[in-house]
Structure 1
Amino acid sequence: MFALERREKIYDYILKAKNVTVLELSKKLNVSEVTIRKDLSFLENQRLIDRTFGGAIIKSPIIKEESYFQKEKYMINEKHLIGEKAAEFIKPNTTIILDTGTTIMEMAKCIVNVKDLEVITTNLKIALFLSDFENIEVTLVGGKVSMKSKGCNGIETCKIIEKYNVDSCFLGCDAFDISKGFMTTNIEKMYLKRTFIKTSEKSFLLASSNKYGKRSMLKVCDLSELTGIIVDKQSQKLIDDFNESDLDSCVFV
């Protein structure tokens, strides 16, 4: 059994049982306790479970907003691969919107050589980073600053964004699901993301696989309303669900 398949089985088992022990999983899957501990560490790093003494419990499926610095600590390689793939959709002499988020920041690192690029963003860290490159014109749209996301939002922010017509927007993700769509944690973020989509010819969701199957407070849109979804391959269930669906806009990296 491959590691990815085994971890999916472990996660499904914890999902049903709510809490398990390392010994229990070791006997069920006929692998060593050392292997199980490594698998649990992997699932914990993906924010899918919480480790306990001698075992693990399932995390709540309802996502709440985490700080930017918390998100920076996990799935770093996967986020970079997603960012690299997203950068391939950007052409010279175009205007794009970059949302907030650590995956979007990884994408920003991959577009620094694109010529004559105009970037509109509400994220303080992304704006500051890209401002060092002469080939990129950066517009930081202000508003109420979120201490957690390091981004601006609010009614005035949406009103400014509505004035633009852009080629593409690239959206950060809190939670997503084939049936429930693309979700976020608060109403200000929801309206801002909807405004990004409305003002853009194309819209791309950048999502790490640990967000799949989770729920958050508010729905932004159905996945079918997006031009593309870029996600890593760390969840076999996600891959299977998309292969069985009518959606053909998902790119796996």
Structure 2
Amino acid sequence: MYAPERHQKILEQAHAQGRVDVRELAELLAVTPETIRRDLTSLERRGLVRRAHGGAIPVERAALMSPVSDREGLHASEKLAIATLALDELPENGSIIIDAGTTAIRFAELLPADRPLTVVTHSLAVASTVAPRPNIELYLLGGAVRTTSLASVGTWTHQLLGMVNVDVAFISVNGLTPERGLTTTNMAEAAVKTALIKAARRTVVLADHTKFGREEFGRIAPLAAVDTVITDAGVNADLVQDIEAAGTQVLWPGRPKAF
């Protein structure tokens, strides 16, 4: 197969899956990993992909996020499993932050009704989910609301966050790598997520396997700021090893806690 044909196949895979992996492409196209790396470098120079840990993502993934309603059905079973496992990280009669995002909404829906909790959020969707619960004391952070995420951002949001100190923050991200840590597509939301992490004693990241190995424009925090990442069984094993080597545990349904 000639290089232009490989490049076309790589782009097709990238657009279909959201990212491509060097080793998987090498096996699929029957070439060496070094050949795939050269192909990805060539495609990156042409502005068609962006290199990420162990592979690449199409440039569209760094564009503005699609609205929450458009993302609700993506990886629904994985998100439900992640949200269910995250319940184990809840404090007893304590306080939590719940970030914006579809997995965070699933998590909010599953919060127990028999445990007093204080919930802080900047997400309108999360707030509307938990507001009717008599066992939950809800604090909704104000600010400028972004239509794509239905979450508040800006000066007002940061001022209110500076007034709280919670037990656990449950954070959503668009990208997660050992080198760049947590990232998202929008700078304003990245800044709020950074503040959410700083307001909590512990941080738990909720991220399905498609977020691993991706690097987005807005940097949130290094892996050192994260205690636990909860994902699904489709996660790349090499990335898990690198993340845990940095001191952050990675959990998914059926995997026992290592530390």
1:60 alignment counterpart: 59
> When the two structures are aligned, how many residues end up with a matched partner?
210
2:72 aligned partner, one-letter code: E
Which runs of 5 or more residues in structure 2 are unaligned?
21-48, 50-56, 254-259
Using the alignment, how far apart are the partners of 1:120 and 1:96 within structure 2?
Answer: 6
In the TM superposition, 1:132-147 aligns within 5 A as 132-147=132-147
Q: Secondary structure at the match of 1:197?
A: helix
Mean CA deviation greater in 99-108 or 64-73: 64-73
In the TM superposition, 1:73-112 aligns within 5 A as 73-112=73-112
Answer whether contact 2:197 2:225 (CA < 8 A) is retained. Answer: no
* Alignment TM-score, normalising by the size of structure 2: 0.74
Which runs of 5 or more residues in structure 1 are unaligned?
1-15, 26-39, 50-56
Answer whether contact 1:112 1:130 (CA < 8 A) is retained. Answer: no
Q: Secondary structure at the match of 1:214?
A: coil
Deviation of the 1:161 alpha carbon:
0.7
2:9 alignment counterpart: 20
Deviation of the 1:244 alpha carbon:
4.7
Q: Secondary structure at the match of 2:9?
A: strand
* Alignment TM-score, normalising by the size of structure 1: 0.76
**Where has structure 1 moved over 6 Å in runs of 4 or more?**
none
Deviation of the 1:109 alpha carbon:
1.5
Taking only the aligned residue pairs, the percentage that are identical comes to 23
Using the alignment, how far apart are the partners of 2:143 and 2:183 within structure 1?
Answer: 22
Does residue 190 of structure 1 match 2:179?
no
Answer whether contact 1:190 1:219 (CA < 8 A) is retained. Answer: yes
Using the alignment, how far apart are the partners of 1:100 and 1:191 within structure 2?
Answer: 13
Q: Secondary structure at the match of 2:132?
A: coil
Deviation of the 1:220 alpha carbon:
0.9
User: What is the root-mean-square deviation in Å for CA atoms of aligned residues?
Assistant: 2.5
Structure-2 change in CA distance of 1:132 and 1:118 (3 Å): same
Answer whether contact 1:112 1:133 (CA < 8 A) is retained. Answer: no
Answer whether contact 2:178 2:242 (CA < 8 A) is retained. Answer: no
Using the alignment, how far apart are the partners of 1:184 and 1:197 within structure 2?
Answer: 14
Deviation of the 1:63 alpha carbon:
2.6
Deviation of the 1:252 alpha carbon:
2.2
Answer whether contact 1:227 1:249 (CA < 8 A) is retained. Answer: yes
